[in-house]
Amino acid sequence: MLDDTRRLNSFLRKTRRGHVLKITHELYLRTDITCGSHACHQCTIDQRTLLDKQMTNGNSLVSSGHYLIVDTNIILQQVDVLEDPLFTNVIVPQVVLDEVRHKSLAIYKRIRSIIAVPERKFFVFINEFNKNTFVLRKPGESPNDRNDRAIRKIAQFYNEHLKQQIPIVLLTDDIANRDLSRQDGLIAFSLKEYISTFNRPELLDRLVLKEESFDLEKDLGKRKEIIFPEHVSVSEVQRGIKSGKYLQGTFQASRENYLEANVFVQDSEKYNQLFVQGYRNLNRSVHDDVVAVEILPEQEWAIPFSLVIDDKDDDQGDLVIEQEETGLVVQGISSKRTPSCRVVAIIKRNWRQYCGILQQSLPGAKFHLFLPHERRIPKVRIESRQAEELKNSRVMVQIDHWPRSSRYPHGHFIKTLGKLGDKETENEVILAENDILHHEFPEAVLDCLPKLPWTITEEDLANRVDLRDFCIVSIDPPGCTDIDDALHCRLLENGNYECGVHIADVTHFVRPNTALDLEARERGTTVYLTDRRIDMLPVLLSGNLCSLRGGEERFAFSVRWEITTDAKIVNTIFHKSIIKSKSAMTYEQAQTIKDDSGMNDEIALSLRRLHSIAAQLRQTRLDRGALVLESSEVRFQLDTETHDPLSVVNKELRETNWLVEEFMLLANISVAEKIYELFPDCACLRKHPAPPISNFDPLVKAAETKGFQVKANTGKELADSLDGAVLLAHPYFNTMLRMLATRCMMQAVYFCSGFESDMKSFEHYGLATPIYTHFTSPIRRYADVLVHRLLAAGINADATFPDLLNKRVLQQICNNLNYRHRMAQYAARASVDLHTQLFFKNMNTDEDGYVFAVRKNALQILLPRYGLETTLFLRDKDGKSIGEFNEEEATQTINNLTIHMFDPVTVQISVDTYNIQRQRIQIHLVKPFIEGFSVSAIVKNKTTIDEVDNTITTPVKRLKVKSSK
């Protein structure tokens, strides 16, 4: 017999092998669980007491101040509304929070973040262990019905417990639950009913509406038709994948053609990538969704078209023309068909919040089209009552569902980001679109920081090697404050050199599993935008105590080699150290000192020795097949007050750049070998897989247009082919070829060695090294922090801890780091694009460039001076395409003039401001001159690639260079 405070909760669970288990949980119920209200005279009032005694949230439905109770669906579907500060004094039942956690971890984290803010007064009521609110599931009752009954029980408890002092309002969109609540005498409303009493149209816009609410065709008087095939059931997908009928993969939409996409297939020996073309075959997939696909019969395989096309700007309702259903037909010579598929089901939606603008709609329209900033995301239809106010604003929208009868997915408004075209707003878009964590560091993180003034103790001196008398220097870009690394080189008595790389000892300050460590782990990397830096660590560490500033004593993790004069490594040692950098130099300053034969002090001699060794290390790498690739990188000079771009400077690489690079590579390789030797199952490494040979097809084809043969069976073959592809009459040709080769590469990724069975898979293709990791930048990369901890534990310089040697935990961290690193790269590129557009906003100038790609209806033009690649559409004033496309030869012929890939051109650059919602850089052809298509040259602003001065500058008071390391 059970006592009054003990309950048994039993349920059945089916195992993977098909067995049925009966599981019984024993619960002990309590009577001392607080209700969390200051109005209560029975419960103890302490720091857990959040709910106010007096409130001002009365409205036309409930005139006096009241508490809110929310059910599971309100949180799962309407969390965007709950995040508004309007909602305070909210009771979140434990049963609701548990259900949300099981159904959506992302939503659970968001509601938890609201609960964590005391000012919001969201109180978690532990109903499942409270004797007064626990309910046992009845025979035949569904879990959902039991949970709804538990929520009603909580509302009844609060009414009785607080003796009706404060009204309790239950918010639920479940009609049955709402009706039962009212039958029990409770106050219950739908969320829409509740917020409609406030004069807040933006709150109503945030509501997630049901599919039937979006009956646009009914509003427009059109006949509703089914556009997309029905998705197959989950059980059928599982059977199909198991039998091989279906394949699973990640959907990647095209940036250039909204009717095309690729699916990167998992676990298929025959297909790594499949092509999808046409609305019906795309079947409501959104970029990054995990989908199930069915391979089409070979006679139905599609031909990828080199078209650059957008979805139309106007809202055609749900009309889909025949060509959009199956693909587009364009005259011209076509390549062979590509293995193609159709999407049969969505396995996992990876929808997120999207930034963009609202397209102009008819006056009084109820529904509006949202145009995402990310070109690979389809337009989204939303209902909004504030379209007029939002027409010149950047807004954020969430996709809710995509019915078969709608051309576009349906979603809801979340918030306004700011005025369209405002620099701060556009920066916010970049950060949001790339999921960059840029909030202020929480108090719990700041509490982990050391107190100032920071000093080195006797214990520190006893546990570290004192290198403060060594001639150690750092070399970094101008303006760098987060100095991770420093170097030294000295002559030994035996004629060899001792070279050392000294890396900031971040792990001395960032201890495992502290709030500071967890925040850095989540951020993953420092993000460098053109006009700002978003640190992984608080500035006290990143710009001060960890930064190896000149003339200041700092903790370091050192790697020292004894190296012969012909760059052969004799010995390697690793240890913690104390250093005092003799000088923090820029690359230009270091280059000047090295080259000045009149300077023979200790720093100059050290730099020359380092250069001699680095040159030999570099040649050895290149002889092994390491690749020298290119990308268009520029640096902006910014106004010190407005941070607007004033000039664009091509990134100049000096000998000191690759001097530092070679020693950083050597340190990373040496540490990788060491941690793998010490911890073969849990070493944090970085690999760069060799690309499939098919990846090089665009490169091979491009080289053939100039008579060169590129071989890419091995990295060494590719490197030799690129070295040989030189045109004396066209100096920039080899650079462009290397840029194309860069685009053929796979993404380098972090991984845990314990999940790779063959060490051959550790290889770094680009660097031509069998093993590699990141050790040299722990201030700005969390992967390096992990590597420091592994190395320190292995050489007994620090203690280990369980998670450090848990390969599953390590792989999970690596997955997040890969994602964060990729997003940081995207954000940096987007920031450059933004500042390029700002730079040209009030300019109209001519610039020399090259044809970098030939499309069916456009030319891709590369402008090296600005690191800019943009599209020149080949169409007349009426929008009709001109020119004859030859895919085999990669040419366009217009009025008997044939344009080839890599041809030099002159274009006129400006910013198209006609449509304020879609301002963009536009170019017009100046040379070669084509009658009726080209424009006249602007001689006064004309610059050429061959000029010595590689900057274009507007008059300024003073310049401040912002750069990223």
Helix axes 143-161, 94-103, angle to 10 degrees: 150
CATH level 3 topology of 351-420: OB fold (Dihydrolipoamide Acetyltransferase, E2P) (2.40.50)
Q: State how far the Cα of 169 lies from the Cα of 194, in Å rounded to an integer.
A: 10
Check: CB of residue 308 under 8 Å from CB of residue 256: yes
Distance of CA 528 to CAs 137, 650, 742, 836, Å? 54, 17, 21, 16
Q: List the helix and strand counts (H, then E) for the chain.
A: 25, 40
What is the torsion angle, in degrees rounded to the nearest 10, for the CA atoms of residue 194, residue 197, residue 200 and residue 203? 10
pLDDT the model gives residue 212: 56
Could you tell me the sign of the dihedral formed by the alpha carbons of 808, 809, 810, 813, in that order? positive
Tell me the three state secondary structure of residue 188: strand
Structure tokens at 372: 């995402």
How remote is the C-alpha of 802 from its chain's centroid?
29
Q: Which residues pair with 263 in a beta bridge?
A: 251, 274
Check: CB of residue 510 under 8 Å from CB of residue 541: yes
Q: State how far the Cα of 327 lies from the Cα of 329, in Å rounded to an integer.
A: 7
Rg (CA), the chain: 32
Check: CB of residue 504 under 8 Å from CB of residue 481: no
CATH number corresponding to 6-207: 3.40.50.1010
- Where residue 261 falls (left for φ over 0; alpha for ψ -120 to 50; beta otherwise) is beta
Q: State how far the Cα of 396 lies from the Cα of 221, in Å rounded to an integer.
A: 30
Check: CB of residue 904 under 8 Å from CB of residue 849: yes
Residue 10: which residues within 8 A CB-CB, separation 6 or more? 22, 23, 24, 25
pTM: 0.84
What is the residue type of 654? Answer: R
Q: State how far the Cα of 171 lies from the Cα of 188, in Å rounded to an integer.
A: 6
- CA atoms lying within 13 Å on the CB side of residue 692: 9
Residue 932: which residues within 8 A CB-CB, separation 6 or more? 876, 895
Residue 48: which residues within 8 A CB-CB, separation 6 or more? 34, 36
DSSP code of residue 855? -
Q: State how far the Cα of 50 lies from the Cα of 53, in Å rounded to an integer.
A: 10
Residue extent(s) of CATH 3.40.50.1010 domains in the chain: 6-207
Domain 841-927, CATH 2.40.50.140 — does that match?
yes
DSSP code of residue 545? I
**Phi (first) and psi of residue 411, to 5 degrees:** -150, -165
Q: State how far the Cα of 684 lies from the Cα of 686, in Å rounded to an integer.
A: 7
Residue extent(s) of CATH 2.40.50.140 domains in the chain: 841-927
Tell me the three state secondary structure of residue 720: helix
User: In the chain, what's the furthest Cα-to-Cα distance?
Assistant: 98
Q: State how far the Cα of 926 lies from the Cα of 952, in Å rounded to an integer.
A: 20
- Where residue 803 falls (left for φ over 0; alpha for ψ -120 to 50; beta otherwise) is alpha
Structure tokens at 89: 């004094």
Q: State how far the Cα of 411 lies from the Cα of 382, in Å rounded to an integer.
A: 5
* 213: number of Cβ within 10 Å: 12
Check: CB of residue 881 under 8 Å from CB of residue 857: yes
Q: Is residue 438 packed enough to be buried (19+ CB in 10 Å), middle (13-18) or exposed (0-12)?
A: middle
Residues of the chain with pLDDT under 50: 1-2, 216-217, 219-223, 313, 315, 322, 326-334, 942-965
Residue 462: which residues within 8 A CB-CB, separation 6 or more? none
Structure tokens at 658: 């690759």
Check: CB of residue 730 under 8 Å from CB of residue 737: no
Q: State how far the Cα of 516 lies from the Cα of 585, in Å rounded to an integer.
A: 30
* 360: number of Cβ within 10 Å: 16
Distance of CA 244 to CAs 249, 283, 341, 414, 556, Å? 13, 20, 14, 41, 54
DSSP code of residue 354? E
Strand ranges in 95-186 using DSSP code E only, listed in sequence order: 122-125, 168-171
Residue extent(s) of CATH 2.40.50.690 domains in the chain: 227-308+336-350
Tell me the three state secondary structure of residue 591: helix
CA angle in degrees (0–180, nearest 5) for 535-536-540: 65
CA angle in degrees (0–180, nearest 5) for 961-589-529: 25
Structure tokens at 91: 């009771």
Across the beta sheet with 90-93, what order do the strands follow? Answer: 122-125, 90-93, 67-70, 168-171, 187-189
Structure tokens at 892: 């366009």
pLDDT the model gives residue 955: 28
Alpha helices, H only, 749-781:
none
Q: Is residue 70 packed enough to be buried (19+ CB in 10 Å), middle (13-18) or exposed (0-12)?
A: buried
What is the residue type of 198? Answer: F
Q: Which residue has tokens 């676990």? A: 267
- Beta-sheet pairing, 897-900 with 891-894: antiparallel
Check: CB of residue 321 under 8 Å from CB of residue 222: no
pLDDT the model gives residue 758: 83
DSSP code of residue 164? T
Q: State how far the Cα of 207 lies from the Cα of 198, in Å rounded to an integer.
A: 14
Tell me the three state secondary structure of residue 878: coil
Q: State how far the Cα of 536 lies from the Cα of 546, in Å rounded to an integer.
A: 13
DSSP code of residue 449? S
Alpha helices, H only, 434-514:
443-446, 458-462
CATH entry, 227-308+336-350, from 3.40.50.2000, 3.20.20.100, 2.40.50.690, 3.30.70.1350: 2.40.50.690
